[in-house]
Amino acid sequence: MARRDLGSMLGGDIAVAGPPAPQVEKPAPTAPTADVAPTAARVSAPAAQPEAEPQDVRSVPRWLTYERKETRIRPDQLEWVEAQRKELNQRRQGAGERLTDNTLIRVALDLLKQHQGELHGVTEDQLRKSLGLTD
């Protein structure tokens, strides 16, 4: 099904006040080095405006600084991550930041990165076993 914009769904044009939203640019690819930490995406002003000064990254929501990556997960993984997100958000009782499925996935990836030296194998099952996962 084709997506429609908000203006067409409401039956008219929608005017948005304020400056246009900042665009997130990927950094230019560089040769990877073992001792250099990866850089975050850089934020710049939209192309229509002259570049007077760089956009303050703190004024952009953090999620806009992340790279988009689609992934396929099993139904049990999806159910688990959704249940954990709901439970953690209920426990925080409004304190801190809203946690999302993507938050938990990023934390899981950070944990996997910490144990990258233990990863061995050429199949998903072998990789799981190398980390001590049995299911």
Tell me the per-residue pLDDT of 59-86, one tens digit each, with 9 for 90 and over. 888 889 999 999 999 999 999 999 999 9
| 44-48 long-range contacts, CB within 8 A, separation 24+ | 46/20, 46/21, 46/22, 47/23, 48/20
| Radius of gyration (C-alpha) of the chain in whole angstroms | 20
Q: Which amino acid is at 58?
A: R
Q: What integer pLDDT is reported at residue 26 of this predicted model? A: 57
Alpha carbon of 74 to those of 55, 77, 82, 94: distances in Å? 39, 5, 12, 30
pTM (whole model) above 0.75: no
